[in-house]
Amino acid sequence: MREETRARRQREIERAAYAVLEERGYAGTSMLAIARAARASNETLYNWYGDKQGLFRSLVAHNAEEVRGLLEERISGQGDPLETLKLLGPKLLELLTGPGPVALNRAAAADPSNELGAAIAQAGRESIAPLIGEVMKAARQRRQLAFRDISDAVGLYLDLLVGDLQIRCVIGREARPSATICRRRATLACERLAILLAPAEGSGDR
């Protein structure tokens, strides 16, 4: 199958997966139901994704591609770490509050098996957080930030940036924020991070 044909079919399968997920929930979603909705063969889905959890991990990974690409490019190019966080923030917020991730998280909250939640975590935060950690380490090396534990520093940044915004979107209490709001929120998160993790004068890392 030609690459562009496969990419088109994958997009069709992804759209079908979201539609079936919203209609049936994760527990009621099957590879066969997705295949039928996408007018694809069940065999094709298993060959491409392995199983249902693999398919949904692929959806999450696809959603996060732009964010991951930005981080990898900035890390390899050794860009200014705080500037990287400023660029990352709006893209991460737009990702987390987008219709696809919101639909996935709504379904995960109602999934008693916790399979979908695990897929979201593995292909989402657990793959992105280490890259953010590399940016934070670079900021510490440049004495832009001071901290001892990388995971705590990453968690603080994400708390400042995201807070309860995504969950409020998931439960329908908040509309998806505009690009302007995402930029403003990201700028504020970086400003607060720089204050909370400011290096002490004349000292090493805290």
CATH number of 60-196: 1.10.357.10
- Residue range 3-50 forms a domain whose CATH class is mainly alpha
Proportion of the chain above pLDDT 70, given as a percent: 97
How many residues make up the chain in this entry?
206
Query: By the 8 A CB rule, do 77 and 69 touch?
Result: no
Closest CA to 60 of 30, 29, 25, 17: 17
The pLDDT of residue 1? 63
- The CA distances from residue 70 to 108, 145, 159, 164, in Å, are 27, 21, 20, 24
Q: What is the pLDDT of residue 206?
A: 44
Tens of pLDDT along 8-53?
Answer: 999 999 999 999 999 999 999 999 999 999 999 999 999 999 999 9
Residue ranges of the domains in the chain?
3-50, 60-196
What does the pLDDT look like over 183-194, one tens digit per residue?
999 999 999 999
Over the chain (206 residues), the average pLDDT of each successive run of 10 is 82 93 92 95 94 91 92 91 95 94 92 91 92 96 96 97 96 95 96 95 57
